[in-house]
Structure 1
Amino acid sequence: MARKAAIVGGGVIGGGWTARFLLNGWDVGVFDPDPQAERKISEVLANARAALPALSDVPMPPEGKLTFHGTIGEAVEGAEYVQESVSERIELKHRVYAQLQQANPGVLIGSSTSGFKATDLQQGSPAPENIIVAHPFNPVYLLPLSEISGSEKNTEATVQKTVQIMKDIGMFPLVIRHEIDAFIGNRFLEAVWREALWMLKDGIATTEEIDEAIRMGFGLRWGQMGLFETYRIAGGEAGMKHFMAQFGPALKWPWTKLMDVPEFNDELVELVSSQSDAQSGMYSIRELERIRDQNLVGFLRSLKDRNWGAGKVLREHDEARAAAFHAEMQKGIDTGPKAAPLVMAQMQVLPGWIDYNGHMTESRYYFANSETVDNFLRLIGAGMDYVAAGQSFYSAETHIRHLGEAKLGDRIRGELQIISADEKRFRSFVRIMKDDECVATIEQVCLHVDMKAGKSSRAAPEVWAKLQAIAEAHASLPLPEGAGRAVGQKR
């Protein structure tokens, strides 16, 4: 049974939370009195469906069920978690919490507030321990950070439950040590924002020039190393102490106006908005969102390839889901192999997998086969530990047939059948399936090799025992259509 989250407030942030939970397999109930809420959230979901799966190297779970409700009570029914994302008015938030806790006593409520402390949010609540800050960054469905901030009334169990829910949907929960207004991220952003407004008001730079200074320079560094790690490098071989000695005196120089705020008036609003229109007015909001998402996907995937920063969070989320899949496969083998092909890999066609025709490219069919066979080898005990010990199965011959088409976003799976096997080799037949359609088959012979001796050898007894059991179970299966077919041979 799917887990359920309730989303109260379906604006930009609430819509992002809806997408994040829904695409991670949760059912989601939404309450928002805005008559346009369903349309707005559907547009956010369309962007999220195009972007979030592109960050994952294992298929997303089946999408949860999305429902819209006319009351808060209906939305929160059966929910284990609520994300509140209403306007930043404390009295409104208090009314929402009262209705939530009356309808579902004991439910955990996380707030998307940008600045209120948990203590402020909990005032007047009969169960303040169940209200906590879970502050995200836009777009919620792509950026992993969630700032978790509680008060003395929140138990450690409540904090850890919130942390685990955030991890379950692929986020990076950062628990704040002490309550402060605006938390960590917004404190930092506010300082940069104030300084930018002064440079704009004083005619030093336009909105576009300020943005260029960020995205062409330090913004790229911050995205993968943050502030202190970046400055540590700036200190050279002598490190952070040298940096502080060299640049510390600048803290007393009149470089910034952080203690002074420009007057917020119509003139300032017009200055900012007119320059922003000139800079970006040629794009609609949805176009800007898609451009942003595509850029973030590319950046995040690069970090993921290097297992660094936010990319490490993405990789760990993939690995947790893949481990659950492998554990299920192992359970099936431990209870005795069945006379049926083994589903050994689940994948999704990513942007980098397609060619100029919009179809999955040939090399990725080989990759899909490799993923399927590698998981099979892990299943029989011939994984990386086995290789590290000096033994491995080598591909000796491979034949692929293209029978259908897989396109961007398609979910595919690799089903493996053992046609024959002995202690030194096995012959596998892999079907790449898209729903019930076979889009490709890959037939392969793998030889067992003693890597130190550089020649074929018998597999370890425990590996051969598992391989033999599967081969015997598959012996009763009919020979797959196309098995043994040569290139160009008539069907």
Structure 2
Amino acid sequence: MTRKAAIIGGGVIGGGWAARFLLNGWDVGVFDPDPEAERKIAAVMANARLALPALSDVPMPVEGTLTFHGTIGEAVEGAEYVQESVSERIELKHKVYAQLQQAHPGVLIGSSTSGFKASDLQKGSPAPENIIVAHPFNPVYLLPLSEVSGSDKNPPAVVEKTVQIMKDIGMFPLVIRHEIDAFIGNRFLEAVWREALWMLKDGIATTEEIDDAIRMGFGLRWGQMGLFETYRIAGGEAGMRHFMAQFGPALKWPWTKLMDVPEFNEELVDLVANQSDAQSGMYTIRELERIRDQNLVGFLRALKERNWGAGKVLREHDERRAAAFHAGLDTTPKAAPLVMAQMQVLPGWIDYNGHMTESRYYFANSETVDAFLRLIGAGMDYVAAGHSYYSAETHIRHLGEAKLGDRLTGTVQIISADEKRFRSFVRIMKGEVCVATVEQLCLHVDMKAGKTVPASAEVWAKLRAVAEAHATLPMPDGAGRAVGQGRA
């Protein structure tokens, strides 16, 4: 059954939430009185469809259905969760909550507020326990952090439900231990922002120079190790204690102006805006968003490969979704090709023509055959014990086109097998259309001896059962053909 979320407020943050839910398979109902809301969210969705799937190594869920509604009541109908992202005006938020709770009593409401505490949001509500903070960072569809902050009126079950929903859409829910204005992330940003404005106003540095100090230096460290882990390394072999002893006295030095703020006036606004225009005015906002997204995808994929920081969140989300996608794979022999893999053409799989690149056809074959090897007991544990099947010969035929977003199924048919080898025929299917076939001869090898040997009795018994079930199948079309050879 498809789950539904309601998004109240369709600006940059609300649009990002809509994209995050939709691309994770939820239906989304949106309410926003702005007549441009549909156009604005469409622009966010276009960027999200390019970026978020590029972080995934398993098929994305089928995208949910996006609907726009003229009233809050219509938008929230059937929703299990509401994300409120209206302007930061407490009276407006209270009005929205009243309408939501009247239309759908008991619905869980998460707020994207940047600073209001949950206890502020809950005032005057007949059901304060169902209102909680779920504060994201932009772009919501890429950055995983969601600061979850409740009050003493939120029972543990409500906090746990919010946390689980965030995990279900691939986010990292960070539960705030005690209520505090602006939560954790924004308090850091506020401190850096104040200091940057002072350096700008005092002529110490320009907007570009301040940004360079961040993106060329400590920003790269913070992005994968944060603050304390970074400083722990700075302490050398003696660690954090040495760092504190060495740099602790500097806390008394009058370096910063964190408790003071430059006067906010037109002169300061002009100074910041003019320098920012000179720095980035040659790009449109949409161009900057796409540049930002592509850079973030690169950073996040690097972290994912190392299972570190935000990349660990991506891996865990992939693993949860992979289990669901692979639930329908065949697990026993049958007199038909075995369904061994469910895949999707992701952004990193396509070439300059927009088609799936050749190497990914081999990858699709590998995913299919690897799943088959696991089925017969020749997976990684078998390899660790010193035996494996090696590819000796491969013949691929490209019969159709696979493009970005296409969902593919890999099936395997065993043409022949004995104790030392098997010949497989993999079909890469796009629905009912076969886009490629891969015929392969695999030899069973003793890895230490470096020679072909019989498979273990257990593996051979499982392989033989599949081979016997497939013995009644007709020879696949194209099997045994050489490159360029005509049909018989």
Give TM-score, length-normalised by structure 2: 0.96
In 1, the alpha carbon distance for the partners of 2:473 and 2:50 equals: 39
Match of 1:282 in 2: 282
SS at match of 1:276: helix
Match of 1:398 in 2: 394
Match of 1:62 in 2: 62
Task: State the 1:469 CA deviation.
Answer: 3.2
Alignment of 1:200-239 (within 5 A): 200-239=200-239
Match of 1:17 in 2: 17
Equivalent position to 1:344, from 340, 350, 367? 340
Match of 2:101 in 1: 101
Alignment of 1:40-79 (within 5 A): 40-79=40-79
8 Å Cα contact 2:302/2:311 also seen in 1:
yes
Task: State the 1:348 CA deviation.
Answer: 3.2
- Letter paired with 2:270: E
Task: State the 1:230 CA deviation.
Answer: 0.8
Alignment of 1:313-324 (within 5 A): 313-324=313-324
8 Å Cα contact 2:50/2:347 also seen in 1:
no
SS at match of 2:63: coil
Equivalent position to 1:360, from 356, 371, 392? 356
Equivalent position to 2:476, from 476, 480, 487? 480
Distance 1:468 1:101, change over 3 A: farther
SS at match of 1:106: coil
Distance 1:74 1:427, change over 3 A: same
Distance 1:241 1:234, change over 3 A: same
Match of 2:246 in 1: 246
- Letter paired with 2:276: S
8 Å Cα contact 2:59/2:325 also seen in 1:
no
Match of 1:145 in 2: 145
Match of 1:309 in 2: 309
Deviations along 1:232-256, one digit per CA (max 9) or x if unpaired, are 1111111111111111111111110
In 1, the alpha carbon distance for the partners of 2:466 and 2:7 equals: 47
Match of 2:32 in 1: 32
SS at match of 2:303: helix
In 1, the alpha carbon distance for the partners of 2:16 and 2:259 equals: 34
Distance 1:279 1:168, change over 3 A: same
SS at match of 2:442: strand
In 2, the alpha carbon distance for the partners of 1:83 and 1:461 equals: 56
- Letter paired with 1:121: L
SS at match of 2:423: strand
In 1, the alpha carbon distance for the partners of 2:166 and 2:348 equals: 28
SS at match of 2:86: coil
1:445 aligns with 2:441: yes
Extract unaligned runs of 5+ from structure 2.
none
8 Å Cα contact 2:355/2:402 also seen in 1:
yes
Deviations along 1:99-158, one digit per CA (max 9) or x if unpaired, are 111111111111111011111111111111111111100000000111111111111111
In 1, the alpha carbon distance for the partners of 2:429 and 2:276 equals: 48
In 2, the alpha carbon distance for the partners of 1:170 and 1:286 equals: 24
Alignment of 1:179-218 (within 5 A): 179-218=179-218
Deviations along 1:285-337, one digit per CA (max 9) or x if unpaired, are 111100100111111111111111111111111112112333432xx42xx54
In 2, the alpha carbon distance for the partners of 1:140 and 1:17 equals: 6
1:129 aligns with 2:129: yes
- Letter paired with 1:202: D
SS at match of 1:121: helix
In 2, the alpha carbon distance for the partners of 1:125 and 1:118 equals: 12
SS at match of 2:336: coil
In 2, the alpha carbon distance for the partners of 1:34 and 1:436 equals: 43
SS at match of 1:283: coil
1:110 aligns with 2:110: yes
Distance 1:226 1:300, change over 3 A: same
Deviations along 1:210-250, one digit per CA (max 9) or x if unpaired, are 11111111111111111111111111111111111111111
1:434 aligns with 2:430: yes
In 2, the alpha carbon distance for the partners of 1:156 and 1:40 equals: 36
In 2, the alpha carbon distance for the partners of 1:340 and 1:276 equals: 63
Percent of aligned pairs with the same residue?
Answer: 88
In 2, the alpha carbon distance for the partners of 1:343 and 1:31 equals: 42
- Letter paired with 1:20: R
In 2, the alpha carbon distance for the partners of 1:374 and 1:92 equals: 55
Match of 2:459 in 1: 463
In 2, the alpha carbon distance for the partners of 1:17 and 1:470 equals: 46
In 2, the alpha carbon distance for the partners of 1:236 and 1:139 equals: 35
In 2, the alpha carbon distance for the partners of 1:144 and 1:255 equals: 33
Total equivalences in the alignment: 487
SS at match of 2:484: coil
Task: State the 1:463 CA deviation.
Answer: 3.0
Match of 1:257 in 2: 257
Give TM-score, length-normalised by structure 1: 0.95
Task: State the 1:358 CA deviation.
Answer: 4.2
Task: State the 1:357 CA deviation.
Answer: 4.3
The CA RMSD measured in Å over matched residues stands at 1.7
Match of 1:416 in 2: 412
In 2, the alpha carbon distance for the partners of 1:482 and 1:56 equals: 33
In 1, the alpha carbon distance for the partners of 2:107 and 2:444 equals: 55
SS at match of 2:216: helix
In 1, the alpha carbon distance for the partners of 2:139 and 2:204 equals: 30
Equivalent position to 2:485, from 466, 485, 489? 489
SS at match of 1:429: strand
- Letter paired with 1:414: G
8 Å Cα contact 2:326/2:342 also seen in 1:
no
- Letter paired with 2:451: K
In 1, the alpha carbon distance for the partners of 2:283 and 2:36 equals: 22
Deviations along 1:324-380, one digit per CA (max 9) or x if unpaired, are 333432xx42xx544332332233334443444444332222122111111121222
Match of 1:325 in 2: 325
In 1, the alpha carbon distance for the partners of 2:419 and 2:127 equals: 64
Deviations along 1:73-112, one digit per CA (max 9) or x if unpaired, are 1111111111111111111111111111111111111111
Task: State the 1:409 CA deviation.
Answer: 4.1
Greater shift in the superposed pair: 230-239 or 381-390: 381-390
In 2, the alpha carbon distance for the partners of 1:105 and 1:33 equals: 22
SS at match of 1:239: helix
Greater shift in the superposed pair: 397-406 or 13-22: 397-406
8 Å Cα contact 2:11/2:41 also seen in 1:
yes
Task: State the 1:477 CA deviation.
Answer: 2.8
